Amino acid sequence: MTHQFPSLSQELKKELSDIAQRIVAPGKGILAADESTGTMGQRLQKINVENNEENRRYFRNLLFTTEPSISNCVGGVIFFHETLYQKADSGKLFPQVIKDQGIVVGIKVDKGTAGLNGTNGETTTQGLDGLSERCAQYKKDGCDFAKWRCVLKISDSCPTALAIAENANVLARYASICQQNGLVPIVEPEILPDGDHDLLRCQYVTEKVLAAVYKALSDHHVYLEGTLLKPNMVTAGHSCTKKFTPQEVAMATVTTLRRTVPASVPGICFLSGGQSEEEASSNLSAINQVPLHRPWKLTFSYGRALQASALAAWQGKAANKAAAQEAFCSRAKINGLAAKGEYKPSSAADTASMQSLYMASYVY
Amino acid sequence: MPHSFPFLAPDQKKELSDIAHKIVATGKGILAADESTGSVAKRFQSINAENTEENRRLYRQLLFTADDRIDPCIGGVILFHETMYQKTDDGKVFTEYLKGRNMVVGIKVDKGVVPLAGTNGETTTQGLDGLYERCAQYKKDGADFAKWRCVMKITPTTPSNLAILENANVLARYASICQMHGIVPIIEPEILPDGDHDLKRCQYVTEKVLAAVYKALSDHHVYLEGTLLKPNMVTPGHSCSHKYSNQEIAMATVTALRRTVPPAVPGVTFLSGGQSEEEASINLNAMNQCPLHRPWALTFSYGRALQASALKAWCGKKENGKACQEEFIKRALANNQACQGKYASAGASAAGADSLFVANHAY
């Protein structure tokens, strides 16, 4: 406990730190294109497209070859395993297509959730077996960061101490193994928005979960400067009757992060959860305007919130390719602005009048 | 675990946050004048002054009544219990006098260290009994912040898991009780500089200790915006043969804090430990010039490093009063500059220090 056995060389630390900084460079965020085969099936079903390998390749190709390049607003792309070894229409491997645009390649490495016996439907996440060897291979194949998603939920009895401790621990193990293999770990402790709880309840739970996550990362000797955090924004539950403004969401979120995330973490890339594209962008922009000091980058790691319009425009038809790419490009640009606090939804008031909507932080 | 039972109303939170920010306002730090009667005995012995209540009163009065040059330098003063109820020659209670000078009054509330059985000489700190009632009284009597010191040491076998957990927990209990009474808790998990360990070892231990402290504070629902941290700087042990530059000390310290202290904490007020007055100022200055981003104020909470020369100049003699105050004012001004990264010490220049900062991935 009192002796240090350093596991990362100075060069490796610098490499990890540089990768993380590149991903969250000002005005940039992450395109989460790592939907598993099953999840992609759900997306494609909505537009009546068959879930086969070619269609999945086609759609990712559509996103990755958008012109002009999305590299001005996208710093990293998360891949699913299958996609890492697929090729663009040009015959070039997808990781190379992304790297050629100066964007960092990432890979989802977890193997889904598994039940925690004796709990009220809570889970942990599996995927640690052979993870070191897999990471080494992914690094060779062009990846520089990884993603692992843990899931917690809010109910009258959840999350329990076990769920919090177990998920924090498995995230720390994953992070430690990634760093050994030159991959920046994105740490994702998602607290689902399901339920009728209010904003304050979500804030409280998020603070406890993040405190446990960073204690676990410390215990596992993880190099924080070479990590990123992918948390939920602090929001009310989906079925909460009270409505909260983007400013209230932003204030609660930033307050929570200020209380738990050390300044050495270079960036925080929010997941969009069930939010609409517009909601996700407005909230992110509000977060970047909160009048509290924020020492880390606050940006996006969006899946649905970047792709929904593009999918709807595509409808599985080649003729709609350009329209789909334009829709995608538009969302990417908007989120790039939101990551700088510069996105103003056309119907929203100007910055000055929005400022007054931020309640003093000591209420949170 | 998943339910919140808030015990601080918004106006209570605001009061705590305002007090904390006032103490660490730009250019300001803390005068730690809370030496217990026993500690004062050691100080007075070195200048051949008698350790009487009157002498203690006279000495503290000299410090507190120094002229207005200290106003921009001193945000808060920590008092020992006895001093809270002593008066100036004019009959004004010290607490009232200090508040009149816009300085926040603090009170040491711990009751010293006690051993942890089964460890290699490690300790925890006592003082929780009746702390609830004592805090209520101190608040009525003019205190707006408190201080509690825990102590850990570095050897091949320490600090142990138990020492880290126990001290973190007792600090969190103390902090929680203080906040209920409108008192800002200064949290002091001191890791002693005794030993021959190097800078890296101290950094590693400090990171582990601080991670445990902030986890405990979270577990005890402490409102971080209404607290202050009083840690050791990260330094090599006293008997370490390798010498380090001020920039290396600053880099190691700021790196450790960036990895453990949430941005919500308004300020970090370093203890001076065994450092000389000048060393303490130069190191604080280097911290504030460190090229790494620092989201909290980095300032001082110095005892010996503000008083050593003043004490020597006084020597217990009334006629040395002015000389004593001049020495104190000198140090106060130096630290006022240091906590803004503007201190130009006699031997060094303010500029040109940048290049001495080694890249942070070495830490």
Q: Write the CB contacts of A93 (distance below 8 Å, at least 6 apart in sequence).
A: A85, A86, A87, A142
Count of domains observed in chain A = 1
Q: Is residue B181 part of a domain?
A: yes
pLDDT top residue among A361 and A146:
A146
The long-range contacts involving B221-224, CB below 8 angstroms and separated by at least 24 positions, are B221/B7, B221/B176, B222/B172, B222/B175, B222/B176, B222/B179, B222/B185, B223/B8, B223/B13, B223/B16, B223/B17, B223/B179, B224/A259, B224/B262, B224/B264, B224/B265
In a domain, A121, yes or no: yes
ipTM of the complex: 0.90
Backbone angles phi, psi at B24, to 5 degrees: -105, 30
Nearest to A177 by CA among A135, A206, A238: A135
Nearest to A13 among B2, B261, B361 (CB): B361
Do the domain assignments include residue B197? yes
Look at residue B139 and tell me whether its pLDDT is greater than 50.
yes
- Total domain count for chain B? 1
Report yes or no on A36 lying in a domain. yes
Three-class DSSP category at A299? strand
Closest alpha carbon within chain B to A155: B2
- B35: phi then psi, degrees, rounded to nearest 5: -60, 130
Q: Are A23 and A99 in contact (CB under 8 A)?
A: no
AA identity, residue A30: I
SS3 for A37? helix
**pLDDT of B47-88, one tens digit each?**
999 999 999 999 999 999 999 999 999 999 999 999 999 999
Nearest CB to B295; choose among A255, A263, A361: A263
Residue B110 tokens read as 């711990």
Q: Is residue A52 part of a domain?
A: yes
Any domain includes B357: no
What pLDDT does A351 receive? 52
Q: Is A260 within 8 Å of B211 (Cβ atoms)? A: no
Question: Is the CB of residue A172 less than 8 Å away from at least one CB of chain B?
Answer: no
Cα separation, A336 vs A285, in Å, equals: 9
Decide if B363 is inside a domain: no
- Best mutation target among B157, B259, B292, B358 (most A Cβ atoms within 10 Å) is B259
Instruction: Count CB atoms within 10 A of the CB of residue A132.
Output: 14
The range of the structural domain enclosing residue B155 comes to: 16-339
Instruction: Output the six-digit token pair for B346.
Output: 């006699």
Average pLDDT of every residue of chain A: 94
Residue A99: inside a domain: yes
Residue A14 counted as domain residue: no
**Would you call B9 an interface residue with chain A, using a CB distance cutoff of 8 Å?**
no
Q: Would the CB atoms of B211 and A215 count as touching at under 8 Å?
A: yes
A310-340 pLDDT per residue, tens: 999 999 999 999 999 999 999 999 999 999 9
Q: Could you tell me if residue A97 is inside a domain? A: yes
* A264 → closest Cβ in B2, B156, B259: B259
A320 within some domain: yes
Question: C-alpha distances in angstroms, A309 versus A36, A254, A328, B52, B247?
Answer: 20, 28, 7, 80, 52
Tell me what pLDDT residue B350 has: 46
Q: What is the CATH number of the domain that holds B141?
A: 3.20.20.70
CA distance B160 to B156: 10
Query: Identity (one letter) of the amino acid at A296?
Result: W
Residues B113-136: pLDDT tens digits? Answer: 999 999 999 999 999 999 999 999
In angstroms, the CA A230 to CA A191 distance is: 11
Domain that holds residue A271: 20-343
Q: Which residue of A has its CA nearest to B263?
A: A258
- Confidence band for A359, pLDDT divided at 50, 70 and 90: low
A185 occurs within a structural domain: yes
Predicted local distance difference test score (pLDDT) of residue A319: 97
Give the A:B interface size as CB pairs under 8 Å: 111
Residue A322's domain is classified under what CATH number? 3.20.20.70
What's the pLDDT score for residue A300?
98
Q: Is B358 within a domain?
A: no
pTM of the model: 0.93
Q: Where does the pLDDT of residue B5 fall: very low under 50, low under 70, confident under 90, or very high at 90 and above?
A: confident
Cβ–Cβ below 8 Å for B262 and A224: no
Burial of residue A162 (CB within 10 Å: 0-12, 13-18, 19+) is middle
Q: Mark whether B166 is an active-site residue.
A: no
Shortest distance, CA B195 to any CA of chain A (angstroms): 14
Q: Do A212 and B215 touch (CB under 8 A)?
A: yes
Test mutation, B251, B296, B361, chain A, max A CBs within 10 A: B361
